[in-house]
Amino acid sequence: MENTCPGSRWPKGSCRPMRCGKNGSLEYKGHLWCKTHHPPTVKAKQAAKSAEWEAEHKAKQRQRLEERRAAALKEMALNWLLENRPEVARELEEKVMQAS
């Protein structure tokens, strides 16, 4: 078993990868890997990042949906006021114009 890590790294300014070359300390499928390129560690880090991104994405989606619902509700309320209570709608419009 070779002592150097078989993982790849991209040196600055290079257009192709090179072998890691660090001394391997973690064994996986017959190779010694460094802590950076050890396949189970890499998978765990990727899974954690993916879960973090997914949680952020879902939170943003939820927020956008709530904003759209609030805008639709406001529009429906304004339309109802304009159709059924135009005097109240005018009063609200005047208050909004004064506040601006």
Task: Write out pLDDT tens, residues 9-57.
Answer: 888 888 898 988 899 899 999 889 999 999 999 999 999 999 999 999 9
* pLDDT in the model for residue 13: 84
Domain total for the chain? 1
Cβ contact 19:6 at 8 Å: yes
Structure confidence at residue 1 (pLDDT)? 55
Six token digits for residue 83: 């159709």
- For 6, the domain range is 1-37
| Residue 6 included in any domain | yes
d(Cα 17, Cα 57) in Å, to the nearest integer? Answer: 32
**Overall pTM surpassing 0.75 (yes/no):** no
Return the number of other C-beta atoms located less than 10 Å from residue 33's C-beta: 23
Per-residue pLDDT tens digits for 52-100: 999 999 999 999 999 999 999 999 998 998 899 989 888 888 888 898 7
Residue 1 lies in a domain: yes
Beta bridge partners of 19: 8
Nearby residues of 35 by Cβ (< 8 Å), 6 or more positions away: 25, 26, 41
From the list 23, 52, 51, 28, the residue with the least C-alpha distance to 38 is: 28
